[in-house]
A and B are shown apart, each in its own frame.
Chain A
Amino acid sequence: MGLELYLDLLSQPCRAVYIFAKRNGIPFELRPVELRKGQHLSDAFAQVNPLKKVPALRDGDFTLTYSVAILLYLNRKYKVPDHWYPQDLQACARVDEYLACSHDSQRRVCLFLIYKKVMFPVFLGEPVSPEMLAATLAELDATLQLLEDKFLQNKAFLTGPHISLADLIAITELMHPVGAGCQVFEGRPKLAAWRQRVEAAVGKDLFQEAHEVILKAKDSPPADPIIKQKLMPRVLAMIQ
């Protein structure tokens, strides 16, 4: 059994792993884990990841979780082009720096937005107050400003002249609020230009393919009550 990737493209880190593997021609079996059907909570999947989260990787007997760890593993094992995670000491450090702090605000606010704007009202049938949504939208705005001012600045990509893992993580995160109907790139020409460059570097077709699910998330049929009951505790823990 070769490399298996357990993914749901609804999930941002899954999209980053998917795009990376496909772009680099890494052979793998796609093991879909449908979050909206609660498949991540199954006993079978717990064998792969007892933390019950995607993405997860299985390579023979070796299992691995967390998108950054998975991306770095694939990066080393399959000897992909240097620019994804450069050998150069300082260039590499810039990627590490971005990967470490993106956890803090950007990922959180992008996740909160897709939940508050789409998943709660549409899928889970739980209303979200306008004030709560407004607060998260304001946070998104601040995050986008930080991304432009501290990371992108006047460079072509986040950590230098070439696309790296940092750009993959960032773009897949920002597509979450796009999927929620937020105007992320409108009125931000610098970020919009960066997005074009990332899409071109990844390949338009692959980029579209990876984002089909999230862009259709707002058309999710409502969850059935049993599934909803199963999902709610973990969702609430994630969004607090």
Chain B
Amino acid sequence: MGLELYLDLLSQPCRAVYIFAKKNGIPFELRPVELLKGQHHSDAFAQVNPLKKVPALKDGDFTLAESVAILLYLSRKYEVPDHWYPQDLQARARVDEYLAWQHTTLRSSCTRAMWQKMMSPVFLGEQVPAETLVSTLAELDRCLQLLEDKFLKDQDFLAGPHISVADLVAITELMHPVSAGCQIFKSRPKLAAWRQRVEAEVGKDLFQEAHAVVLKAKDLPPADTSIKEKLKPSVQVLLR
């Protein structure tokens, strides 16, 4: 059994791993884990990742969780082009720094924005209080400003002149609020230009393919009661 990637393209980190593997021609079996059906809670999946999260990787007997760990594992094992995770000491440090920053900032605000603006009302049938949404979108705005000012600056990509895993992780995050109808690129020409560059490097077709699921999330039928009960506990924290 070769490399298996347990993914749901609804999830931002799953999209980053998917794009990376496909772009680099890494052969893998896709093992879909549908979050909205609660499949991440199954006993079978717990064998792969006891923390019940996607993405997860299985390579023979070796299992691995956490998108950053998976991206780095794949980049080393499959000897992908250097720019993804550069050998150069300072360039690599810039990638590490971005990956560390985004985890507790942009990631959190993108997930919340998407759930509070769209998934909760559409899928769970629950409106989130207006003040909560306003506060979340303000937080997202602050994160986007930092993304532009501290990381992107006047560079073509987040860690320098070439695309790296940092850009993949970032773009897949930003597509979350985009899927909820947030116009995050409209008033931010710098970010919009960066997005175009990332899409071009990844390839338009692969980019569209990776984002098909999340961009159609707003058309999901409402969840049935049993699914709602199953998902609610883990989703509560996103609605605050």
Residues of A within 8 A of B (CB): 50-51, 62, 64-69, 72-73, 76-77, 89-90, 92-94, 96-97, 99-101, 103, 150
Contacts and interface: CB of A to CB of B under 8 A. Distances in A.
A97 B103 contact: no
A100 B56 CA distance: 13
User: 5 smallest A-B Cβ distances: which pairs?
Assistant: A96-B69, A66-B100, A69-B96, A100-B66, A69-B97
A73 B77 contact: no
Given A66-B100, A96-B72, A72 B77 contact: no
Interface string B199-211: 0000000000000
A76 B76 contact: no
A51 B151 CA distance: 12
Chain A binding site: helix, strand, loop or mixed by DSSP? helix
A93 B72 contact: yes
A99 B67 CA distance: 12
B66 A68 contact: no
A106 to B, nearest CB: 13
15 contacts: A64-B93, A65-B101, A66-B97, A68-B96, A69-B96, A69-B100, A72-B92, A73-B96, A92-B72, A92-B73, A96-B73, A97-B64, A97-B65, A100-B103, A101-B51
Contacts of A93: 62, 64, 69, 72-73
Given A69-B93, A92-B73, A96-B68, 8 more contacts: A50-B150, A76-B92, A89-B73, A93-B62, A93-B72, A96-B72, A97-B66, A103-B100
B97 A96 contact: no
Nearest to B64: A93
B50 A96 contact: no
B65 to A, nearest CB: 6
Contact of B90 (A50, A62, A96, A101): A62
Contacts of A99: 69
Given A51-B150, A93-B72, A150-B50, A103 B103 contact: yes
Interface of B: 50-51, 62, 64-69, 72-73, 76-77, 89-90, 92-93, 96-97, 99-101, 103-104, 146, 149-150
B100 A68 contact: yes
A68 B62 CA distance: 24
Give the interface centre of B92, B100, B104, B149 by most chain A CB atoms within 10 Å: B100
Contacts of A90: 62
Contacts of A89: 73, 76-77
Contact of A73 (B50, B89, B146): B89
B73 A103 contact: no
Nearest to B74: A93
Contacts of B67: 100
A77 B89 contact: yes
A115 B90 CA distance: 34
A96 B66 contact: yes
B97 A65 contact: yes
A235 to B, nearest CB: 16
Contacts of B103: 100, 103
B69 A76 contact: no
A67 B104 CA distance: 14
Contacts of B62: 90, 93
B97 A100 contact: no
Give the interface centre of A62, A93, A97, A103 by most chain B CB atoms within 10 Å: A93
A99 B96 CA distance: 11
Nearest to B240: A240
